[in-house]
Amino acid sequence: MAVRNIRQIGDGMLKKKCREIKEITPRIKELIEDMKETMYEANGVGLAAPQVGVLKRVVVIDVGEGPLVLINPRLLETAGEQTGEEGCLSVPGKYGIVSRPMYVKFEAWNENMEHVVLEGEELFARAVCHEIDHLEGQMYVEKTVDGLHDVEYEEDDE
């Protein structure tokens, strides 16, 4: 496993639509493991493959309940709305206020290419929407209500 370099805003990779994954190859397995390690190293709650320069539809998410690997994720249903702070490992030191659904139901395939249907609310719903946007080449900075703000770091960050 290896920590990969996270692409920063302005990198063309972050604006491209990603391709579906058809089968789990050793390379995809390695990508998934590297993405988890990269996400944890950066203290993120989610990471999408284009953020490490790979244009494939795979994301990893951990909102505090353990890592979740989502391959070819697709929203099936959304409900409600939440408006709150959102950040991105590709836009370090910044955050913005973004409205997202409060609830999402989605399908995806796991690391063994088994089809799963999952649902969640609040931070998890926000993370799923944020990461699926990455797979479409979209970033949250285009969805903020009032632009980007600087993060005020707490003492033991960094």
The catalytic site residues sit at 131
Question: Residue 23 or 142: which CB sits closer to Zn ion?
Answer: 142
Closest CB 87 distance from Zn ion, rounded Å = 8
Question: Residue 72 or 90: which CB sits closer to Zn ion?
Answer: 90
Closest CB 22 distance from Zn ion, rounded Å = 25
Question: Residue 54 or 88: which CB sits closer to Zn ion?
Answer: 88
Residues 82-121 that bind Zn ion (CB under 5 A): 88
Judged on CB neighbours under 10 Å (0-12, 13-18, 19+), 127 is buried
Q: How far is CA 20 from the centre of its chain?
A: 16
SS3 at position 83:
strand
List residues binding Zn ion (CB under 5 A).
Answer: 88
